[in-house]
């Protein structure tokens, strides 16, 4: 209702978004939207169709697809039903739900893509939440090598398309490590996986001894600790693990490596058989995309052939997701910040309405200033990144305030585009 609230003391709470949440201001939001749109465009050209899923789901539904540590997600009680809901930490289980329910009558393969925000709570002492914006694909009902190659190749192509052609694609195969971890008592598996991932043979041996793992099994797990690097790692692993299941897992990985090499990706490839952390739903070859900058993978993915079955419709599946913020960070670090092409932008004060309308129709961004701005129009244009100020009969360049008389309507303004940009360039700045 229309009553006024009591006046509040403004300083009683910092006016910030919740921990881990971020606002994206004008320039940053434009950059982010443009990058995501470029990625989705690529995914769509491979036949991945966009879907949109809710920001939260019933915990009972999402937890079919995620083996979640309850501390890792943000949970709350949904007031209508009293059911526990959670802000999605991952979109893949939602896609699995959609394929298994509303799209189950369509023929395989299902190729779906998405872009959305999810909330992860990071492990570690602080266990901070972080909202991340992820763009990714899921390829369901298409088993085997072909789909693995398509999805990993597409991930590398996506990075190259936006300016990271050298991104490292580090392949993993959870199959092998899981067989070995199964020989470790359950309570010790997490610390063992941590020690393995950090390639710390000393710590790994200590963890295994603490867990009273017998010598033979200990040696088998310890054997994983140096299995990272290039293609020869796969040969070493093959000589070390000769049982049929390990062989099958390693052969699958070798076929993926060779298929990617055939596509010219070998210079970017790496392998790490000791990386067993991360999404628990992977069942086969997985991969992480690495580049300088964010200090975490840009994204990753892999095969998850058992997830769909948990939603009642078994099907092989593979996919990947890219953290849009991390990709932007890596582009900055590589000296190739993402700069979407942007239209001409003009502040306007006193220009004819018809000219303004014509410019907007031509795609120019024109912000009308109130008369009260007066002499401060140039300052406004500079502060907000406008190229110039359009007045009655003249155009002023934002960078240096120089004027040009206007003739020929819309065409005349568009013809001044280069002149407007000139003073931004080093040469113009000197002149």
Question: Considering only residues 150-209, where is the footprint of a second copy by CB under 8 A?
Answer: 150, 174, 177-178, 181, 186, 189-190, 193
In whole angstroms, give the CA distance from residue 115 to residue 40. 8
By CB under 8 A, is residue 76 in contact with a second copy? Answer: yes
Provide the mask over 386-425, with x wherever binding to a second copy is found by CB under 8 A and - wherever it is not: ----------------------------------------
Q: Using DSSP bridges, classify how beta strands 168-173 and 84-87 pair: parallel, antiparallel or unpaired.
A: unpaired
- Choice from 367, 414, 416, 421 touching a second copy (CB under 8 A): 367
In whole angstroms, give the CA distance from residue 234 to residue 182. 21
Q: How far is the CB of 146 from a second copy (least distance, A)?
A: 6
Could you tell me if 303 and 316 are in contact, meaning their C-beta atoms sit under 8 angstroms apart? Answer: yes
Q: How far is the CB of 56 from a second copy (least distance, A)?
A: 6
Kindly tell me which of 361 and 408 has the beta carbon lying closer to a second copy: 361
Q: How far is the CB of 104 from a second copy (least distance, A)?
A: 10
Kindly tell me which of 177 and 321 has the beta carbon lying closer to a second copy: 177
- Asked if the bond preceding 291 is cis, omega within 30° of 0, the reply is no
234 backbone dihedrals φ, ψ, rounded to 5°: -65, -40
Give the bridge partners for 382, in sequence order.
none
Kindly tell me which of 170 and 348 has the beta carbon lying closer to a second copy: 348
308: how many CB neighbours lie within 10 A of its CB?
24
Q: How far is the CB of 263 from a second copy (least distance, A)?
A: 9
Task: Tell me how far apart the 2 most distant CA atoms of the chain are, in Å.
Answer: 88
Provide the mask over 218-257, with x wherever binding to a second copy is found by CB under 8 A and - wherever it is not: ----------------------------------------
Q: How far is the CB of 62 from a second copy (least distance, A)?
A: 10
Kindly tell me which of 121 and 397 has the beta carbon lying closer to a second copy: 121
**Burial state string for 109-134 with b = 16 or more CB within 10 A and e = fewer than 16:** bbbbbbbbebbbbeeeeeeebebbbb
Q: Using the Cα atoms of residue 267, residue 137, residue 91 and residue 52 in order, give the sign of their dihedral.
A: positive
Could you tell me if 33 and 116 are in contact, meaning their C-beta atoms sit under 8 angstroms apart? Answer: no
Tokens (6 digits) for 202: 């000393």
In whole angstroms, give the CA distance from residue 123 to residue 109. 35
Kindly tell me which of 199 and 345 has the beta carbon lying closer to a second copy: 345
Number of residues that bind a second copy (CB under 8 A): 112
Which secondary structure element, helix H or strand E, spans residue 292, and what is its range?
Answer: none
- Choice from 39, 120, 129, 227 touching a second copy (CB under 8 A): 129
Question: Considering only residues 89-128, where is the footprint of a second copy by CB under 8 A?
Answer: 94, 97-98, 100-103, 106-109, 111-112, 117, 121, 127-128
Nearest to 46 by CA among 230, 320, 262: 320
Which secondary structure element, helix H or strand E, spans residue 425, and what is its range?
Answer: none
Q: Where are the beta strands (DSSP E) in 285-325?
A: 285-290, 299-303, 317-323
Could you tell me if 245 and 196 are in contact, meaning their C-beta atoms sit under 8 angstroms apart? Answer: no
- Choice from 122, 144, 185, 393 touching a second copy (CB under 8 A): 144
Give the 3-state secondary structure of residue 341.
coil
- Choice from 135, 276, 406, 423 touching a second copy (CB under 8 A): 276
Give the bridge partners for 169, in sequence order.
269, 289
Kindly tell me which of 16 and 341 has the beta carbon lying closer to a second copy: 16
Kindly tell me which of 127 and 219 has the beta carbon lying closer to a second copy: 127
Kindly tell me which of 103 and 421 has the beta carbon lying closer to a second copy: 103
Kindly tell me which of 333 and 368 has the beta carbon lying closer to a second copy: 368
Question: Considering only residues 50-69, where is the footprint of a second copy by CB under 8 A?
Answer: 50-58, 60-61, 64, 67
182: how many CB neighbours lie within 10 A of its CB?
10
- Choice from 185, 229, 264, 312 touching a second copy (CB under 8 A): 312
Alpha helices in 211-267 (DSSP H): 215-222, 232-240, 244-262
By CB under 8 A, is residue 365 in contact with a second copy? Answer: yes
Could you tell me if 337 and 323 are in contact, meaning their C-beta atoms sit under 8 angstroms apart? Answer: no
Q: How far is the CB of 338 from a second copy (least distance, A)?
A: 15
Question: Considering only residues 33-52, where is the footprint of a second copy by CB under 8 A?
Answer: 33, 44-47, 49-52
- Choice from 74, 160, 333, 414 touching a second copy (CB under 8 A): 74
Provide the mask over 316-355, with x wherever binding to a second copy is found by CB under 8 A and - wherever it is not: ---------------------------x-x-x--------
Could you tell me if 285 and 256 are in contact, meaning their C-beta atoms sit under 8 angstroms apart? Answer: yes
């Amino acid at each position: 209702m229309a009553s006024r609230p009591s006046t509040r003391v403004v300083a009683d709470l910092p006016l910030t978004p919740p921990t881990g949440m971020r606002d994206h201001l004008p320039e940053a939001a434009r950059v982010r939207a443009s990058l995501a749109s470029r990625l989705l465009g690529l995914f769509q050209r491979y036949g991945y169709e966009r879907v949109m899923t809710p920001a939260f789901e019933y915990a009972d539904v999402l937890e079919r697809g995620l083996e979640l540590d309850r501390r890792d997600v943000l949970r709350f009680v949904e007031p209508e039903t009293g059911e526990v809901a959670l802000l999605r930490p991952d979109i893949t289980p939602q896609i699995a739900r959609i394929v298994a329910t509303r799209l189950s009558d369509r023929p395989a393969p299902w190729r779906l893509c998405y872009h959305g925000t999810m909330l992860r709570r990071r492990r570690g002492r602080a266990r901070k939440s972080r909202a991340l914006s992820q763009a990714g694909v899921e390829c369901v009902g298409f088993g085997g090598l072909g789909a693995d190659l398509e999805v990993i190749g597409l991930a590398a192509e996506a990075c190259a398309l936006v300016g990271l052609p050298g991104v490292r694609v580090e392949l993993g195969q959870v199959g092998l490590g899981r067989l070995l971890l199964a020989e470790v008592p359950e309570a010790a598996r997490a610390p063992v996986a941590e020690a393995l991932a950090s390639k710390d043979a000393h710590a790994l041996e200590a963890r295994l001894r603490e867990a009273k793992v017998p010598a033979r099994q200990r040696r088998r797990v310890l054997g994983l600790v140096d299995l990272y690097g290039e293609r020869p790692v796969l040969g070493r692993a093959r000589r070390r693990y000769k049982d049929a299941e390990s062989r099958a897992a390693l052969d699958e990985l070798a076929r993926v490596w060779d298929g990617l090499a055939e596509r010219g990706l070998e210079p970017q490839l790496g392998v790490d058989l000791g990386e067993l952390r991360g999404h628990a739903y992977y069942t086969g070859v997985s991969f992480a995309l690495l580049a300088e900058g964010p200090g975490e993978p840009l994204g990753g993915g892999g095969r998850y052939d058992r997830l769909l079955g948990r939603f009642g419709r078994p099907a092989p599946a593979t996919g990947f997701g890219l953290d849009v913020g991390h990709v932007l960070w890596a582009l900055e670090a590589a000296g190739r910040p993402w700069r979407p092409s942007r239209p001409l932008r003009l502040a306007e004060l006193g220009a004819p309405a018809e000219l303004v309308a014509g410019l907007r129709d031509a795609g120019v961004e024109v912000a009308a200033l109130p008369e009260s701005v007066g002499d401060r129009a140039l300052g406004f244009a500079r502060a907000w990144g406008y190229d110039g100020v359009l007045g009655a009969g003249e155009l002023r360049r934002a960078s240096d305030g120089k004027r040009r008389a206007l003739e020929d309507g819309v065409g005349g303004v568009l013809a001044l585009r280069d002149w407007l940009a000139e003073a931004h360039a080093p040469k113009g700045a000197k002149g």
